[in-house]
């Protein structure tokens, strides 16, 4: 339930900002829309994934990041939030808008194409910055997603209205900003644009870990450690003393004296042998 409430709040403020900024004729409407999306993503991303968009939920479902029951609940909550936000926006902004409409085959095709492309771009960015394991716990995903919406609204807002979101499309139609004749564009183009990038992002992101067959073996040591040498190669009567050089020097003198005594005894024994 907490995730669904988060999706409702984020989608509500997104659609409410869209409707109020367009109804009020704000010159910086794209910045306001991208900004509110960014902060709502930072606020709810750790709870619900911060989709706030049925097309993004479809992309997450196709990618395997969202279950089918959650997909249905997310879409219903997002559409209800869009309806509520449009009603509140019409209440607080007392302006009778002129509904945007697209007529003619070429203009309808252009609106469909731009909604498809920028919804693709939005879902592609979301999948790669918010669901990819190549850079977990990153801190830039809200900026990337928000500025994708800003870029799309500035670039093609005059062509299609720049919804890139079925919930936003429903909200602007309820608010009277866009004609209901564009409902099929906001539904079909955006859902296709959301489902399309799932396979593309799967191909462009690397797996979390390197397959076992492709892992390089650990490098072999160039020199054998001292502890690994056989005991017969170690000095038997001379331990390694580094901390006390004087003691090592004294031990060497004793060894030399013992060797001298051994040689004298050997020479004496040899002389006795020849004399006998």
Residue 132 predicted with pLDDT over 90: no
pLDDT of amino acid 210: 41
- Is-contact 41 56, C-beta < 8 A? no
Domain residue ranges of the chain, discontinuous segments joined by +: 2-205
Residue 240 predicted with pLDDT over 80: no
- Taking residues 238-265, report their average pLDDT: 64
pLDDT of amino acid 244: 52
DSSP 8-state assignment for residue 67: -
Residue 164 predicted with pLDDT over 70: yes
pTM above 0.85? no
Residue 109 predicted with pLDDT over 90: yes
Q: What is the phi-psi region of residue 132: left when phi exceeds 0, alpha when psi lies from -120 to 50, beta otherwise?
A: beta
pLDDT band at 269 (very low <50, low <70, confident <90, very high): low
Give the pair of three-digit tokens for residue 235. Answer: 């000095």
How far lies 39's CA from each of 72, 130, 147, 166, in Å? 25, 14, 12, 20
Nearest to 54 by CA among 81, 30, 29: 81
Q: What is the phi-psi region of residue 164: left when phi exceeds 0, alpha when psi lies from -120 to 50, beta otherwise?
A: left
pLDDT band at 71 (very low <50, low <70, confident <90, very high): very high
CATH node for 2-205: 1.20.1080.10
Give the pair of three-digit tokens for residue 176. Answer: 């009277």
Give the pair of three-digit tokens for residue 83. Answer: 């309806």
The Cα–Cα gap between 82 and 243 comes to 78
User: What tens digit of pLDDT does each residue of 29-40 get?
Assistant: 999 999 999 999
Better-predicted residue by pLDDT, 127 or 235: 127
User: What tens digit of pLDDT does each residue of 180-225 get?
Assistant: 999 999 999 999 999 988 777 555 555 444 444 445 666 665 655 5
Please report, rounded to a whole number, the percentage of residues in the chain having pLDDT higher than 90: 56
Residue 103: exposure state from Cβ atoms within 10 A (0-12, 13-18, ≥19): exposed
Nearest to 165 by CA among 26, 40, 28: 40
pLDDT band at 234 (very low <50, low <70, confident <90, very high): very low
């Amino acid at each position: 339930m907490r995730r669904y409430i988060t999706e409702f709040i984020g989608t509500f403020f997104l659609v409410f900002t869209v409707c109020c900024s367009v109804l009020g004729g704000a010159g910086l409407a794209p910045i306001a829309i991208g900004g509110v999306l960014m902060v709502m993503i930072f606020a709810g991303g750790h709870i619900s994934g911060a989709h706030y968009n049925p097309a993004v939920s479809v992309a997450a479902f196709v990618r395997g990041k969202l279950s089918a029951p959650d997909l249905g609940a997310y879409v219903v909550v997002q559409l209800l939030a869009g309806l509520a936000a449009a009603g509140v926006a019409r209440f607080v902004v007392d302006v009778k808008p002129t509904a945007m409409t697209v007529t003619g085959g070429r203009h309808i095709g252009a609106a469909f194409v731009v909604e498809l492309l920028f919804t693709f771009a939005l879902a592609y960015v979301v999948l790669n910055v918010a669901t990819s394991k190549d850079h977990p716990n990153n801190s830039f995903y809200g900026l990337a997603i928000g500025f994708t919406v800003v870029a799309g609204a500035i670039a093609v807002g005059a062509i299609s209205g720049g919804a890139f979101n079925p919930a936003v499309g429903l909200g602007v139609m309820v608010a009277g900003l866009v004609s209901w004749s564009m409902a099929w564009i906001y539904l079909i183009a955006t859902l296709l644009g959301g489902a399309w990038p799932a396979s593309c992002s799967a191909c462009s992101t690397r797996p979390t870990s390197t397959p076992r067959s492709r892992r390089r073996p650990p490098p072999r040591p160039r020199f054998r450690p001292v502890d690994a040498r056989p005991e017969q190669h170690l000095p038997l009567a001379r331990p390694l003393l580094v901390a006390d050089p004087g003691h090592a020097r004294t031990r060497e003198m004793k060894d030399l004296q013992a060797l001298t005594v051994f040689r004298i005894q050997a020479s004496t024994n040899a002389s006795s042998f020849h004399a006998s």
